[in-house]
Amino acid sequence: MLIVADKHIPYLLPRLRCFGEVQLLEPEQITRKAVEKADALIVRTRTRCDVDLLSGSNVRFIGTATIGYDHIDTIYCNRHNIVWTNAPGCNAAGVCQYVVNAVREYENSGLRISKSDKSTTIGIIGVGHVGRLVAQYYKEQGCRVLVNDPPVEQQQGSDYLSSFGKVVTLKELASEADIITVHTPLNNSGDYPTHYLINERLLSLTKQEALIINAARGGIVDEKALLKSGRAFVLDCWENEPELDVEVLQRSFLGTYHIAGYTKQGKQNATDMILFALGQFASGGQVDLSPIEKTINQHLSSYEPFDIKSISEQLKCSPKDFEKLRKAYVLR
């Protein structure tokens, strides 16, 4: 088996060599010519896996060491019998840690008078791996927690969803929450599209002092609408990333270079999950991550503080160095 892998995915070698020949490349080197004879690809979000990359290749397996998978043309892969998988929940604890630290910075800035206690209402849009941890953390802090996730409610039932907080409509969440944090995938179509889910209309319903956080995917939040709203916001994911809008960055309360989930634990989890899936594929079995998902430790110790403010200042000083800063970021 010939495997082409992004060289910036940690903890891959030497375990990956057990499956066959390995070529480690920079993301920009993973081209149509480079993958033509490859049987498997191990990538991150920087590699768009679509017809332009895959047509005429031998690729039959794609593993992305990330939660998000909108960089994979899943329809094309399904039609061409290419097995693909992401790493759901791999960095959930890290993203929760990021949200907690962003909220702490906001509370300590003086823009909000009260700190996270029984007087604070946290609105969580998307109650998957990350959203559940955020809900659990703030419930333990005594905050009022509101949740909104129609797909989960449809699949798991309202009783399941209500175990994480009060189930409300998107409008109710927007109007009642002091902190609004988004943890959905980016869907451009389907029954529950999330592109520009946070838009001008929804922002008009929010409190003037509300904080909006997007550490999910760029495009879920309409950045121009954020500017127009005058609300405080924290962005780790951006539209047109890494070519981000400098005005949006400079006016953000905190703006970081897509590192919310960049923890040693999260990276290890992602690599373990992709190698587990590759092993199942190589042995001819069905790719099923549920056994390994149950073993992933999601908790970082008390979601300890890290210097999120300095990370934001780095990017604001050098917005064109988004990719450079991201590559140089030391896993926490």
Query: At 106, is the secondary structure helix, strand, or coil?
Result: helix
As a whole number of angstroms, the distance between CA 219 and CA 101 comes to: 23
- Which domains are seen in the chain, by residue range? 2-86+264-293 (3.40.50.720), 92-261+303-328 (3.40.50.720)
Residue 315 carries which DSSP code? Answer: H
Position 242 scores a pLDDT of 92
The rounded distance, in Å, linking the Cα atoms of 244 and 66 is: 21
231: pLDDT strictly greater than 90 = yes
Residue 59 has pLDDT above 80, yes or no: yes
Q: Which of 247, 249, 251, 248 is nearest to 325 (CA)?
A: 249
Catalytic residues: 217, 241, 258
Predicted confidence at residue 298, as pLDDT, reads 57
- The Cα 89–Cα 290 span in angstroms is 11
Considering only residues 215 and 291, tell me which one the structure prediction assigns the higher pLDDT.
Answer: 215
pLDDT at position 13 is: 87
Instruction: Give the pLDDT confidence score for residue 112 in this predicted structure.
Output: 64
Q: Tell me what pLDDT residue 180 has.
A: 98
**For residue 228, is pLDDT > 80?**
yes
Judge if the upstream peptide bond of residue 10 is cis by omega within 30 degrees of 0: no
How far apart are alpha carbons 216 and 332 in whole angstroms?
Answer: 19
Assign 3 a pLDDT band (cuts: 50, 70, 90): very high
- Of 55-59, 117-121, 251-255, 325-329, the one with minimum mean pLDDT is 117-121
* pTM of the model as a whole: 0.85
Is the confidence at residue 1, as pLDDT, over 90? yes
Beta strands across the sheet bearing 21-25: 21-25, 2-6, 40-43, 61-64, 83-85
